[in-house]
């Protein structure tokens, strides 16, 4: 394993913000994880795990060891009459995994098509879209415990999954995910309740959709409203959708009849952060090199060569604006470094 010094990591984050890693290495095998962590501990340096760089914002150079995860492989573990179990390396591209499973007619993650990032990063954030979260299909995670410096297997319940949350996010840098096991379905329950998906299927006159049709619909929706990070720097949704009590929701609904929200339990509603931001006047707004995407207010974009600090400051103005107008505190989904 090669440890490099003073490496430009601007191209390794989807915002394209200028940043350097004091030390940098690429991990392609499990044993190299232990080597990298042991090296950083011996040097008394912090470390940062980097996957696809699609959910991170660098506000400065990193004065430690950046570990780029590139463990690959998709392996069939077992198969039953109704289910398929696969182990997937943390460095695999998430969308390519979804495409692979759709081509095999293995259902469960088709609604998560075109989400940027790697397989190893997916459980950390518990990525979700159109009524599906990755926790719905994860059965086991293989991870390296950096404190005990040993390998462990964590079952789904041990991962403490929540909305855009998990054990791995709560205990940052304690665990390094190297492999994720998924349980996929041969006759999956299809999730087409979201209006946008139904609308696309209706336009295509698809009455009995396949998982491929659903995946294609999601790709069409995301392509229409999300900018390509290869052309316009961004990290997808910058903010989480805030959760409120049903009482708070009803108060807001009285004051704002067009409020966009979804019930998530008998006691809570999830508010559409994009709608809140748009109503606060930010959709399509630009300050210098930073702006809210014209088609989706939830996405902050780097139009030119904005620094991470400029993007954070822009997001802070949005947070304050939404707080003033609605009394709602937005929380960033993107990780700041």
Note the pLDDT of residue 195. 67
Asked if residue 133 and residue 48 are part of one domain, the reply reads: no
pLDDT exceeds cutoff 80 at 193? no
Dist CA 218 CA 23 (whole Å): 38
Confidence of residue 230 (pLDDT cuts 50, 70, 90): confident
- In the chain, the number of structural domains is 3
Q: What phi, psi does 238 have (nearest 5°)? A: -85, -25
Tell me whether residue 177 is in a domain: yes
DSSP state of 162: B
pLDDT at 190 over 90: no
Q: List C-alpha distances in Å: 188 to 106, 151, 218, 331.
A: 8, 32, 17, 33
Per the model's pLDDT, the better-predicted residue between 301 and 188 turns out to be 301
Q: What per-residue confidence (pLDDT) applies to 204? A: 79
Point out the domain boundary residue: 54, 69, 84. Answer: 69
pTM over 0.85: yes
Contact between 114 and 97 under an 8 Å Cβ cutoff? The reply is no
Residue 201: pLDDT above 90?
A: no
**Is the domain of 51 the same as that of 136?**
no
Tell me: do 80 and 134 sit in the same domain: yes
What pLDDT shows up at residue 224? 87
Q: The domain that contains 93 carries what CATH number?
A: 3.30.465.10
Percent of the chain with pLDDT over 90: 80
In this model, does residue 197 exceed pLDDT 90?
no
CA-CA distances (angstroms) from residue 178 to 73, 152, 218?
11, 10, 28
Residue in 268, 310, 317, 333 annotated catalytic = 333
Q: End-to-end distance of the chain based on CA atoms, in angstroms?
A: 25
| Sheet strands (E) in 111-260 | 128-129, 132-133, 138-145, 150-155, 175-185, 233-237, 243-245
pLDDT of residue 329: 95
Contact at 8 Å (CB) between 122 and 141? no
Q: Is 92 a catalytic residue?
A: no
Structural domain contains residue 102: yes
Is 164 annotated as catalytic?
yes
pLDDT of 61: 96
Query: Are residues 81 and 175 both part of a single domain?
Result: yes
Give the structural domain span for 243.
Answer: 233-336
Instruction: Write down the H helix ranges in the chain.
Output: 30-42, 94-103, 122-125, 167-170, 195-203, 211-225, 246-255, 273-279, 308-326
Span 149-185, pLDDT tens digits? 999 999 999 999 998 889 999 998 899 999 999 999 9
Residue 96 located in a structural domain: yes
Write the pLDDT tens digit of every residue in 251-287. Answer: 999 999 999 998 888 899 999 999 999 999 999 999 9
CB within 8 A of 170, min separation 6: which ones? 160
Of 169, 185, 201, the one marking the end of a domain is: 185
* Mean pLDDT of all residues in 202-227: 87
More confident residue, 297 or 230: 297
Q: Is residue 85 part of a domain?
A: yes
Residue 173 sits in the same domain as residue 80: yes
- Spatial separation of the C-alpha atoms in residues 153 and 59, rounded to whole Å: 34
Q: In the predicted model, what is the mean pLDDT of residues 217-229?
A: 89
Establish if 83 belongs to a structural domain: yes
CATH number at 279 reads 3.90.78.10
211 in a domain, yes or no? no
Question: Do 265 and 330 sit in the same domain of this protein?
Answer: yes
75-84, 133-142, 188-197, 226-235: least confidently modelled range: 188-197
Clarify whether residues 175 and 92 are in a common domain: yes
240 and 141 in one domain?
no
Would the pLDDT of 237 be above 70?
Answer: yes
Q: Specify the length of the chain in residues.
A: 337
How confident is residue 186, by pLDDT bands cut at 50, 70 and 90?
Answer: very high
Q: 147 with 125, same domain? A: yes
Q: Is 102 found in the same domain as 55? A: no
Residue 145 neighbours by CB distance under 10 Å: 15
Q: What is the largest CA-CA distance in the chain?
A: 61
Residue 135 pLDDT > 90: yes
Torsion angle, alpha carbons of 166, 61, 6, 2, to 10: -10
Tens-digit pLDDT profile for residues 4-62: 999 999 999 999 999 999 999 999 999 999 999 999 999 999 999 999 888 899 999 99
The answer on pLDDT for 105 being more than 80 is yes
Residue of 215, 237, 315, 321 marked active site: 237
Domain contains 221:
no
For residues 251 and 295, state if they share a domain: yes
Q: Which of 83, 164, 310, 317 is catalytic?
A: 164
Q: Are residues 60 and 122 in the same domain?
A: no
Average pLDDT, the chain: 93
Residue 64 lies in a domain: yes
CATH number of the domain where residue 38 is located: 3.30.43.10
Query: What average pLDDT score do residues 214-224 get?
Result: 90
């Amino acid at each position: 394993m090669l440890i490099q010094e003073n490496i430009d990591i601007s191209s390794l984050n989807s915002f394209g913000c200028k940043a350097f890693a004091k030390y940098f290495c690429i991990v392609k095998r499990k044993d190299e994880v232990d080597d990298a962590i042991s090296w950083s501990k011996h040097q008394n340096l912090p470390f940062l795990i980097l996957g696809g760089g699609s959910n991170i914002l660098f506000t400065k150079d990193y004065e430690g060891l950046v570990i780029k995860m590139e463990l690959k492989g998709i392996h069939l573990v077992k198969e039953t009459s109704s289910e398929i179990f696969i182990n997937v390396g943390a460095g695999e591209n998430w969308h390519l995994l979804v495409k692979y499973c759709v081509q095999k007619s293995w259902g469960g993650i088709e609604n998560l098509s075109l989400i940027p990032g790697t397989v190893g990063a997916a459980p950390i954030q518990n990525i979700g879209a159109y009524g599906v979260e990755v926790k719905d299909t994860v059965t086991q995670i293989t991870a390296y415990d950096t404190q005990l410096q040993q390998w462990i297997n964590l079952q789904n319940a041990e991962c403490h999954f929540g909305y855009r949350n998990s054990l791995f996010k709560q205990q940052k840098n304690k665990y390094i995910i190297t492999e994720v096991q998924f349980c996929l379905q041969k006759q999956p329950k299809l999730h087409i309740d979201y209006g946008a998906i139904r609308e696309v299927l209706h336009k295509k006159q698809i009455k009995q959709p396949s998982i491929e049709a659903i995946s294609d619909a999601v790709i069409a929706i995301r392509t229409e409203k999300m900018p390509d990070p290869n052309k316009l720097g961004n990290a997808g949704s910058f903010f989480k959708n805030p959760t409120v009590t049903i009482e708070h929701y009803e108060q807001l609904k009285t004051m704002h009849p067009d409020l966009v929200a979804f019930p998530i339990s008998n006691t809570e509603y999830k508010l559409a952060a994009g709608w809140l931001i748009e109503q606060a006047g930010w959709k399509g707004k630009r300050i210098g090199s930073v702006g809210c995407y014209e088609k989706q207010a939830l996405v902050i974009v780097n139009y030119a060569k904005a620094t991470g600090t400029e993007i954070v400051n822009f997001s802070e103005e949005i947070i304050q604006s939404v707080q003033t107008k609605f009394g709602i505190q937005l929380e960033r989904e993107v990780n700041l470094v």
